[in-house]
Amino acid sequence: MFFTYLRRELRRRRKAALVVASGLALGIALVIVVSSVTSGMGKAQDKVLQSLYGLGTDMTVTKAAAAQEEGQAQRPRFRFDAQDSDSDEEQSSDRVMVQGFETLSSSTVSKVGAQDGVSDAVGGLSLQVIKVSGQFTRGQFQQDGGGEQPGGGTGQPEGRVQGGGADFDVNNYSVYGTDVSKPELGPLTSSKITSGRTFKASETNAKVVVADASYAKEKKLALGDTVTIKGVKYEVIGIATPESGDAAANLYIPLKQAQTLSDSADKVTTIYVKATDSQRIDAVKSAIQKNISGTTVTTSADLAETVSGSLSTASDLATSVGKWLSVVVLAAAFLVAGLLTSSAVSRRVREFGTLKALGWRSGRVTRQVVGEAVVNGLVGGALGIGLGLAGAYVVTAVSPTLQAELGAAGGGMTGGGPGGFGGGPAREAASRTLDVALTAPVSVTTIALAVGLAVTGGLIAGAFGGWRASRLRPADALRRVE
């Protein structure tokens, strides 16, 4: 009887039911789109941060370089020998310098790894290589002429030197020494090997190199080619493509090789740390800073505070304005649905009075009204889910590009080690910009939320109408003439 009457009433009042369902559908669709876009923003930010510190890295440990007084800064010096031969030979000179932070002893890696709450820790060495190569060209003496001096002597020839000079090219690139014994942690984990292979655990001191894809394309490097760094030849065994943003370094070599090239035996610039539990990251950070003096510990949360640009702005809008807009629209939809249902009850006073006269109790009348409202809510929920999914699909299909500007934020975050929080050796500027494509993934939780909102909207609307219907008296209802 309940469902039969329900079906007939909804069919008889199709327009009113559609208006209520449409209002709820718009509110629910907006909630789905905003929730999906917010989720996409979060994933985009995670992707940006992952491209900086590497997959699995919870924090980095560094030591800020000591401030140098004016005139004390060490600059690279290049020396070229004079050539006495007639041939113009090319000369070159490499300078390999530690970049970013002050070096830490390799023993510090073990100290960090021994801290409570630390699952694993590895060290890395950030280097900058400046190579100057070119040649000197001998000038040609052009004689203007000579003359006899008084007394019969011969004068010195007069003239000038033309041509000659020096033509040198400067090649500046970054190299990162990575601990090949623990490939699951460190800067190279933020890139995917798209050609060749990564390092083997046995290649701790091998003369092999993994090149960033962009750098390999620029220098026309292929698998099996050799790269010369400070006179040492390294074989290219793999090409790495960063998952997002730019690469941590142009070239990756085993840590021991990097230490040898830079005369930094048993030294690292960055320590990558993985915590045993993500809930203990703050406690681990405090423990490291307390027990290992002079170090700076930076977590992903610290780096997230430095992300600005359109990605950050859009994320703030989606989180604050978007959510509040969803709440306002949803509240308005619930209110309109309740008012429309209550208004519909007022137009059915004679009907409910007749049903009460026939023996329907107030509770049964109330349940009938609430049932109709819940069905309207479910219909609105179905429409809202459809509209929300369509909106999320449009956002994902269009994939608008947002920019994430990453700036230094103190704590030794300027020019950090590759994969370290704040940039790598290829990131000399204090800030840089990454382009991120926005998506709007719809989760099962979002769909469940939409269904819950639909039922809630129906119950709220039914509560308005049911309350009015339960207060009707049969005698008053039957006296009303419509």
464, 419, 378: which is closest to 24 by C-alpha?
Answer: 378
Gap between the Cα atoms of 418 and 406, Å rounded:
14
What is the pLDDT, as a whole number, of residue 164? 60
pLDDT in tens, 44-73: 766 666 555 555 677 888 887 655 555 544
Average pLDDT for 189-210 = 91
| Local structure of 433: helix, strand or coil | strand
pLDDT in tens, 400-452: 776 666 554 333 333 444 444 434 433 333 345 666 677 788 888 888 878 88
Gap between the Cα atoms of 373 and 468, Å rounded:
14
32, 103, 55: which is closest to 329 by C-alpha?
Answer: 32
478 pLDDT tier (thresholds 50, 70, 90)? low
Q: Is pLDDT larger for residue 327 or for residue 144?
A: 327
246, 277, 297, 213: which is closest to 427 by C-alpha?
Answer: 246
245, 294, 315, 280: which is closest to 53 by C-alpha?
Answer: 245
Q: What percent of the chain has pLDDT over 90?
A: 16
pLDDT in tens, 75-116: 556 555 555 545 556 666 778 888 867 889 989 999 999 999
What is the pLDDT, as a whole number, of residue 172? 85
Gap between the Cα atoms of 414 and 425, Å rounded:
11
Q: At how many degrees (to 10) do helices 444-470 and 362-398 cross?
A: 150
The H helix count followed by the E strand count for the chain is: 13, 18
Q: Which residues contact 164 (CB under 8 A, 6 or more apart)?
A: 136, 137, 138, 139, 140
